[in-house]
């Protein structure tokens, strides 16, 4: 059978792949195929960002209502309506039906091809019995899958991964979570709110959210503990036993009780729970992708340059965007890389030079924003103080409590903290962190300041409105002006 020709072939229909395909052909008569073996929309739409945030928001709303005189008297006797929360989550994930995303692809001029794709040669992709040939580019956008550590008994116990936690149907009464990162902290928050009575975070390190400023993890741990979540640091799982594992389906308890044998500084006793959630990071989805057919390793992240072009290959025809390149495992960064990559493919297809900033994924390099939707939220951009020092930057740090009229008005128990990391030679912000209720919406101002390299002297004239939580910017700048 003759190969089918497309200008661009994208493998993986998650947010990164969708954007790369759309930008590569926008406003032209170029053609694109998007190959997807599961659901168009990817991990984010059905298993990750969207369902998790749909599950977290009701708890945040209830928490605020419980600390608001005039409202708290009405709600204090009630908890969440779990069925309604799960139903709203299912609305957001369209019950895992991707037809609206396929309609979007059709409208953008992208051909969706169902099946598992593998590289079988230079510019050649095979899907089932079909051979596809790319005139200009092949883009790898296959994302990542949950890592399950190779611990004795763990895989046989059929533990939950993030897919079960986000698609929860049956809330375990007793839950152990292995890991202290973003998935562990967010999942502990929503599962506890949904009725998990005994939640234990088993953390091998000494803090939560270790890629953030230390105060962020400390405040999240403090609040989790205050709400009754057990957070155990410096504890490792030695082995796991479950007598009756059962493949009951996504989001249901996978059998009888599970016992974790723990090894830690405190000589921790065994922990017996109804379910164990593994939240120990991600593995790039490169298995079976045929990377070896084009001379690349099929292990680890696919390395790219700042044009998202795979390094070590001739001909500038192979690209990788999103989680699979390991640059920043976040939907918004994958989409950003998809936009840059699509523009690069279009420019190269037209024989144009890559001489404009939009052809370089510069935001990946120390300007990445992220919001962790815990209670309190953690919103940060750029580098932490310790990352800056490790990179040899001459920095100073200002930190203040978030204690302004806007925060006091937003809820009676408001507490939070904010910090700026300032590059002394340029007097610009290279990192910012906000911890508190509702700070998710504060971070974009910081992102603009970091990316725009706005001098602090100019920020003095960016006056925050009264009475908003944004007034913390003024407190930070005032703190900076204090004579040391």
Ligand X SMILES: Cc1cc2nc3c(=O)[nH]c(=O)nc-3n(C[C@H](O)[C@H](O)[C@H](O)COP(=O)(O)OP(=O)(O)OC[C@H]3O[C@@H](n4cnc5c(N)ncnc54)[C@H](O)[C@@H]3O)c2cc1C
DSSP 309: B
The percent of the chain in helix, strand and coil, each rounded to the nearest 5, is: 35, 25, 40
Q: How many H helices and E strands in the chain? A: 15, 21
The correct pick among 98, 268, 323, 385 for binding ligand X (CB under 6 A) is 323
From residue 366 to residue 385, the character string flagging contacts with ligand NAD as x (rule: CB under 6 A) and all else as - is: ----xxxx------------
Applying CB under 6 A, the span of 87-95, 165-173, 280-288, 465-473 interacting with ligand NAD comes to 280-288
Long-range contacts of 145-148 (CB under 8 A, 24+ apart): 145/282, 145/283, 145/285, 146/278, 146/279, 146/282, 146/283, 147/278, 147/280, 147/281, 147/282, 147/283, 148/278, 148/280
The correct pick among 20, 21, 23, 43 for binding ligand X (CB under 6 A) is 43
Other beta carbons within 10 angstroms of residue 256's beta carbon come to 12
Select the binding partner of residue 279 from ligand NAD, ligand X, none (C-beta < 5 to 8 A, by kind).
Answer: ligand NAD
Say how far apart CA 20 and CA 207 lie, in whole Å.
37
The correct pick among 180, 338, 376, 431 for binding ligand NAD (CB under 6 A) is 180
The correct pick among 177, 289, 320, 375 for binding ligand X (CB under 6 A) is 289
- Least Å distance, CB 104 to ligand X, is 14
Say how far apart CA 336 and CA 475 lie, in whole Å.
32
Write out the binding residues for ligand NAD, residues 181-210 only, by CB under 6 A: 181-184, 186, 204-205
Of 4 and 401, the one with the shorter C-beta distance to ligand X is 4
Distance (Å) of CA 250 to CA 162, 165, 168, 170:
10, 9, 7, 10
Residue 37 sits in the site that holds ligand X (CB under 6 A): yes
Say how far apart CA 91 and CA 88 lie, in whole Å.
5
- Least Å distance, CB 205 to ligand NAD, is 5
Residue 141 sits in the site that holds ligand X (CB under 6 A): yes
Say how far apart CA 471 and CA 463 lie, in whole Å.
8
User: Known binder of ligand: residue 323?
Assistant: yes
- Least Å distance, CB 229 to ligand NAD, is 15
The correct pick among 282, 327, 339, 383 for binding ligand NAD (CB under 6 A) is 282
Applying CB under 6 A, the span of 87-95, 260-268, 323-331, 407-415 interacting with ligand X comes to 323-331
Applying CB under 6 A, the span of 88-96, 195-203, 317-325, 359-367 interacting with ligand X comes to 317-325
Q: Where are the alpha helices (DSSP H) in 125-181?
A: 162-166
Q: CA 241, 189, 448: angle at the middle one, nearest 5? A: 125
Select the binding partner of residue 60 from ligand X, ligand NAD, none (C-beta < 5 to 8 A, by kind).
Answer: none
What residues contact 150, with CB distance under 8 A and at least 6 apart?
A: none
The answer to whether the CB of 451 falls within 8 A of the CB of 366 is no
- Least Å distance, CB 478 to ligand X, is 32
Residue 322 sits in the site that holds ligand X (CB under 6 A): yes
- Residues listed for the chain: 484
- Least Å distance, CB 149 to ligand NAD, is 3
User: Known binder of ligand: residue 281?
Assistant: yes
Of 189 and 200, the one with the shorter C-beta distance to ligand X is 189
User: Known binder of ligand: residue 53?
Assistant: yes
Of 13 and 464, the one with the shorter C-beta distance to ligand X is 13
The answer to whether the CB of 105 falls within 8 A of the CB of 42 is no
Say how far apart CA 255 and CA 67 lie, in whole Å.
38
Of 126 and 337, the one with the shorter C-beta distance to ligand NAD is 337
Task: State the maximum Cα–Cα separation within the chain, in Å, rounded to a whole number.
Answer: 76
Distance (Å) of CA 339 to CA 44, 342, 369, 455:
17, 5, 17, 28
User: Known binder of ligand: residue 186?
Assistant: yes
From residue 171 to residue 190, the character string flagging contacts with ligand X as x (rule: CB under 6 A) and all else as - is: ------------x-------
The correct pick among 8, 9, 10, 11 for binding ligand X (CB under 6 A) is 11
* Nearest Cα to Cα of residue 26 among 127, 150, 148, 109: 109
User: Known binder of ligand: residue 180?
Assistant: yes
Say how many residues touch ligand NAD, by CB under 6 A.
21
Residue 322 sits in the site that holds ligand NAD (CB under 6 A): no
- Least Å distance, CB 337 to ligand X, is 8
From residue 90 to residue 119, the character string flagging contacts with ligand X as x (rule: CB under 6 A) and all else as - is: --------------------------xx--
- Least Å distance, CB 372 to ligand NAD, is 5
Other beta carbons within 10 angstroms of residue 68's beta carbon come to 17
The answer to whether the CB of 454 falls within 8 A of the CB of 416 is no
Other beta carbons within 10 angstroms of residue 399's beta carbon come to 15
Where along the sequence are the contacts to ligand X (CB under 6 A)? 11-17, 35-39, 42-44, 48-49, 52-53, 116-117, 141-144, 162, 166, 183, 285, 289, 322-324, 329-332, 334
Provide the binding-site residues for ligand NAD, judged by CB under 6 A.
Answer: 149, 178-184, 186, 204-205, 279-282, 329-330, 370-373
């Amino acid at each position: 059978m003759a190969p089918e020709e497309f200008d661009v072939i994208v493998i993986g229909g998650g947010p990164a792949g969708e954007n790369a395909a759309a930008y590569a052909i926008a406003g032209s008569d170029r053609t694109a195929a998007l190959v997807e073996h599961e659901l168009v929309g990817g991990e984010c739409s059905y298993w990750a960002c969207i369902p998790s945030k749909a599950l977290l928001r009701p708890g945040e709303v209830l928490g605020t209502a419980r600390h608001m005189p005039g409202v708290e008297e009405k709600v204090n006797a009630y908890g969440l309506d779990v069925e309604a929360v799960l139903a709203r989550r299912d609305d957001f994930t369209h019950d895992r039906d991707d037809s609206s995303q396929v309609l979007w692809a059709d409208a953008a001029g992208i051909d969706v091809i169902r099946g598992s794709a593998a590289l079988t040669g230079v510019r050649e992709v095979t899907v089932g019995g079909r051979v596809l040939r790319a005139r200009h580019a092949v883009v790898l956008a296959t994302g990542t899958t949950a890592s399950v550590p190779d611990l004795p008994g763990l895989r046989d116990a059929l533990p939950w991964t993030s897919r079960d936690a986000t698609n929860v149907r049956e809330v375990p009464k007793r839950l152990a979570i292995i890991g202290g990162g973003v998935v562990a902290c967010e999942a502990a928050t929503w599962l506890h709110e949904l009725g998990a009575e005994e939640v234990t975070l088993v953390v091998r390190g000494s803090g939560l959210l270790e890629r953030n400023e230390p105060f962020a993890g400390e405040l999240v741990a403090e609040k989790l503990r205050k709400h009754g979540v057990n957070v155990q640091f410096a504890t490792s799982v030695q082995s796991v036993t479950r007598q009756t594992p059962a493949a009951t389906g996504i989001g249901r308890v996978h059998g009888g009780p599970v016992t974790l044998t723990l090894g830690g500084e405190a000589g921790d006793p065994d922990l017996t729970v109804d379910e164990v959630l593994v939240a120990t990071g991600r593995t790039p989805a490169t298995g079976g992708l045929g990377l070896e057919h084009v001379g690349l390793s099929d292990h680890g992240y696919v390395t790219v340059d700042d044009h998202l072009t795979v390094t070590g290959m001739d001909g500038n025809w192979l690209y990788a965007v999103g989680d699979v390149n390991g640059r920043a495992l976040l939907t918004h960064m994958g989409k950003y890389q998809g936009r840059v990559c699509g523009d690069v493919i279009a420019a190269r297809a037209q024989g144009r030079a890559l001489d404009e900033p939009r052809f370089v994924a510069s935001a990946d390099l120390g300007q990445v924003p992220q919001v962790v939707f815990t209670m309190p939220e953690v919103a940060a951009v750029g580098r932490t103080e310790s990352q800056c020092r490790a990179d040899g930057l001459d920095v100073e740090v200002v930190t203040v409590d978030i204690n302004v009229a806007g925060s006091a008005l937003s809820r009676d128990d408001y507490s939070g903290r904010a910090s700026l990391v300032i590059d002394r030679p340029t007097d610009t912000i290279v990192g910012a962190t906000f911890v508190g209720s509702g700070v998710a919406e504060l971070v974009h101002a910081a992102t603009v300041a970091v990316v725009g390299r706005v001098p602090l002297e100019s920020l003095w004239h960016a006056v925050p409105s009264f009475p908003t939580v944004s007034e913390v910017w003024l407190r930070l700048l005032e703190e900076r002006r204090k004579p040391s």
